[in-house]
Structure 1
Amino acid sequence: MSSTIRRISLGVDWLDYAMLGGVPRGNWLLITGEPGVGKSILTIQAAGANVDAMPVVYVSTETKFFDVVRQAKQFNIDLSDAVSLADVLAGKVKDMKTNLVVIDLFGLARQYRELLRASEEEGKSRAKSPLSMEVVMASIEKAYETLGVSEEGKVTKDVLVIIDSLAPMWAHAPAMARLITYRLRQRLYRSNVTVIMTNQFAPTTGMTFGFGAEHIADAIIHMWIEQPEKKKEIERWLIIKKARLTNHYRKAMKYEIEPENGLTLIEPSIEELRKWFDQYGGKQESSEE
């Protein structure tokens, strides 16, 4: 899956085909969907696909550190070498031998005041909760230091940052979602930092939770369950709604979540997606923004 645009794999072969090889380096990908569609599983697959090749910072705002590692094992992904940032801050990690730092915001409950204090000393905004954008950013920057990828505030290597999910950062004030996400992008954006984020989608309103979160994304993958009350079964679909710097497959794709395999394509066939990839793989077309 080669291209002159450098790409980051999503860890799902058919979805990589649908994006001509993966997420363009430096892009921000937003994955939206209701509970149960597999957003977290997709982020875990992306982490597993890249952790041997590049540093990965995995921010979990809804799941504990050990649950992330345990869920990965269910899909044959070994993240057991991951280090918890809470353990780093507590002085429990003496020798870094991993490319993966997991930021479990539940586990940071004791340490977040230390992170806030450091942010305040640098003149950054004060936060009141471990789930605030300021704590998330301070945690990510500390993870950069732990992984040895930052010097004088600059990220010196390619890094994949995963945030699962954005919604808790503005749960107290959904109307602030656009401002919070813009500030997040302003603080985090680097051409060598690729970001994959998830956010909840409410079928009742037809919108993602927190208006405006989509506007910071270079690409959006939307996942949904097709009318379970009518069909009387779980039928999962996804579609790539937009993607900058790359062409992308335009049709919806039906998938299932299988033990050990994760997101598994049902339709179209993998052969159709390969044919589409071969047809467009050498081109530098950008889709609509």
Structure 2
Amino acid sequence: MKTESPIVAGVDGSAQSLEAVRWAADAAVRHRVPLLLVSALPAAHGTFGDAVNLSAGVFTGIEYVGTQRLATAAELARRSVRDNHLTLRTVLQHGSAVPALLEVAKSARMLVVGSRGLGEFTGGLVGSVSSAVASHAACPVAVVRGMPEMDAPPLDGPVVIGVDGSSNSEPAIAAAFEEAALRDVDLVAVHAWSDFSLLTVAPADLSDNELAWSAAEPAEQALLSESLAGWKDKYPDVVVRKVVVRDRPVHHLLQQSEAAQLVVTGSRGRGGFASLLLGSTSRALLHAVSRPLLIVRR
């Protein structure tokens, strides 16, 4: 990936997208790359198949709104990082948000979106746009939620990464080490022996010894250490805290995320089928985690 590849943030004027803009501006400064703000407009013709054609006057009004949204987002981005060497540009695209964002993601370092946008049902934690780009984007996708107010202290705490020992998690490990190094914080690496609760497949009164966990734990500790070894050499200043558990990785990642500033996961795990765009763990975190989540595709 080229060093100058931008961090892209989707802008639709919602409070959630403005949170994403602030997070993306900070990330762009940390990574020393440009920030690109992208907003999408309905197409002038054929917005819903051939059922709707917008007149020139109506479309000009919509274009003005889009331009103003980008201007507001750009001002917020600059204020949030105090113009700290932030290189920023804006793009107003015509068409639906998902295809527009997926197109710019092809040449992006990272795509950043809010958890929900305008027009999303408020009962869901993740909107249709954020879910779609997390599943299909060609670059890492950060879905932002839980940001403090503009003048409040920033998120602190470690970066948390889920490690399953498979090759699918290797790019996520690399990204997590980089983010921890850029933020000068600890990295908490969580590894589970089983992706599923063993109580669902074994009697509840079985002990850890009867479930063979006691015998397996040293090997799982070694597997986690092996997965992290090369990256610890590359980032010697990053303090790594290892957490090895028996089962339910999502449960333990959510616990660790409560005190974290960023959670990182791969798009698919050791049991994921190649045809699945998001594995069970990344999908569950996407809908449940209360901190910014970075999904890194292999």
TM-score bucket of the superposed structures, by smaller chain: 0.3 to 0.5
Higher helix share: 2
Higher strand share: 1
Higher alpha-carbon Rg: 2
TM-score, normalisation: structure 2: 0.33
TM-score, normalisation: structure 1: 0.34
